[in-house]
Structure 1
Amino acid sequence: MQQAQTSTQKEKVGIGAWIALIVLILVLSGAFRTADGPIKVLDFTNLSGTFGQIGDTGANLIGSGGTGAKDGFMAGFNLIPAVMFFCGLLGVFEQLGAFKASDILFRPLLRPLLGIPGKCGIAFISSFTGSDVAAVMTRELYESGDITDDERTIFVAYQYAGSACINNTITGGAPLVAICPVALGPCILIMVLCKLIGANVVRIILRLRRKKA
């Protein structure tokens, strides 16, 4: 009886936690990436900054036309500032109770869809626009004991296929949008559906392995 009361108290979150969750989802969703005015600070990419960009040529810190180990190193090095900034941002929103609100909000969705807890909801949202941020969050969830090894495997299977599908489709696939006979929205929905199917295939395999063991 006492354990039930304790768990109920843990699940109760205040209005501040829900506001923090809404703000964090907006920041990671990319909804305000192309916004004008002060509201554009509600996007993680805008908050990370555009250091290294040169005019309209599209060049950045990574450079252009490079190949080999140097190009790969600079690509990885370019992620460090954004990941460091996100880790600090994550700590702030965790203290505000955003993770507790996320667990309550996303539990009815993620548990039947992927078999993972609701605390993965923020990483689930961020995986649509960025693979590096979602990867950091998944690692944090596993190391803190919020998800098991099997749940991490299922979640990684979902993220890895069609990584950052919205961001990569809009940016990398922009030249194909004009000639594609299907609208952009259905293309993204098909990718998300395939990601869910792939993750559940891994989920079934893990379940069968547990039964054999």
Structure 2
Amino acid sequence: MEKKVTWKSWLSLFFLIVMLSGLFKDVQSPLKALDFLNLTGNFGTIFEEVNFQGQGGVGAREGVLVALTILPSVVFAVGLIETLQSFGAFNAAEKLFTPILRPILGIPGSAGIAFISSFTSSDVGSVMTKELFDNGQLSDDERSVFTSYQYTASAVILNTINTQAVLLPIVVWPIGLIIVFLIVMKILGANLVRIILKISNQKELRKWKKSKA
């Protein structure tokens, strides 16, 4: 049965893509409220630029604090996804992104929103990928391929611009070319996993046929 896609589906998909794309992250106007990271916000500082996580932490205690810093964005992402999914955003995404994602990654278009969000946030992408798998929209192999894509140079745009900003002055290539190069490497890495899984599945199938012969 074909999933119904209405104008509400397309509108909710557009809204979700805009929010997760980082398009309005740095604008100095009310439009910045249309950005997921801006809505997630930041923790206040306790001293100078230090928040409750502190500096120099190690071990399990530092891990717990890191997890707490991620929690708000994950909880917000789950609520946002569930709300817009009820309007059919993922059905519209499947129709729009399947011609793109099937050839380059071998995954359905329903992963399109997670694909867009993974440019700026690995946390949101992982939440969406889990939702897609739990709902039966991604197979186990498709999930493995997509995960390998996401976590190679994760949050590629945000991390390249922010986390690696101190290195940009000494880099020979322009930043746009660096991001394109990283995305190409992400796609190649995901397809390498795709090939390995295909070979492994073929071996398992041959073993199963021999056992039944």
Tell whether the structures are fold-level matches, with TM greater than 0.5: yes
- 1:16 maps to amino acid: K
Change (3 A) 1:195 1:89: same
Match of 2:210 in 1: none
Match of 1:50 in 2: 42
Match of 1:135 in 2: 126
Question: What is the alpha-carbon distance in structure 2 between the residues aligned to residue 208 and residue 179 of structure 1?
Answer: 42
In the alignment, which of 203, 206, 212 is matched to residue 212 of structure 1? 203
Is the CA contact (8 Å cut-off) linking 2:46 and 2:52 kept in structure 1?
no
Give the match's secondary structure for 1:79: helix
* Percent identity for Structure 1 against Structure 2: 47
Q: Displacement, 1:192? A: 0.5
Is 2:181 the counterpart of 1:177? Answer: no
- 2:118 maps to amino acid: S
Question: What is the alpha-carbon distance in structure 2 between the residues aligned to residue 54 and residue 96 of structure 1?
Answer: 41
Counterparts in 2 of 1:18-167, with a 5 A limit?
18-53=10-45, 57-167=48-158
Q: Which deviations, in whole Å up to 9, do the C-alpha atoms of 1:157-187 show, x marking residues without a partner?
A: 1111111111111111111111211110000
- 1:18 maps to amino acid: W
Give the match's secondary structure for 1:59: coil
Q: Displacement, 1:68? A: 2.4
Q: Which deviations, in whole Å up to 9, do the C-alpha atoms of 1:181-203 show, x marking residues without a partner?
A: 11100001111000100100110
Q: Displacement, 1:64? A: 1.9
Q: Displacement, 1:19? A: 1.4
Match of 1:195 in 2: 186
Give the match's secondary structure for 1:71: helix
Is the CA contact (8 Å cut-off) linking 1:21 and 1:101 kept in structure 2?
yes
Is the CA contact (8 Å cut-off) linking 1:111 and 1:118 kept in structure 2?
yes
Q: Displacement, 1:204? A: 0.6
Unaligned stretches of 5+ in structure 2? 205-213
Number of equivalences: 204
TM-score of the pair, normalised by structure 2: 0.91
Q: Displacement, 1:69? A: 2.1
Alignment root-mean-square deviation, CA: 1.3
- 1:65 maps to amino acid: G
Match of 1:14 in 2: 6
Q: Displacement, 1:54? A: 5.3
Question: What is the alpha-carbon distance in structure 2 between the residues aligned to residue 60 and residue 140 of structure 1?
Answer: 31
TM-score of the pair, normalised by structure 1: 0.91
Question: What is the alpha-carbon distance in structure 1 between the residues aligned to residue 50 and residue 7 of structure 2?
Answer: 43
Change (3 A) 1:212 1:169: same
Higher mean alpha-carbon deviation, 181-190 vs 60-69, is at: 60-69
Q: Which deviations, in whole Å up to 9, do the C-alpha atoms of 1:52-75 show, x marking residues without a partner?
A: 2458x4322322222222222101
Q: Which deviations, in whole Å up to 9, do the C-alpha atoms of 1:90-134 show, x marking residues without a partner?
A: 111101111111000100000011000000000001111111110
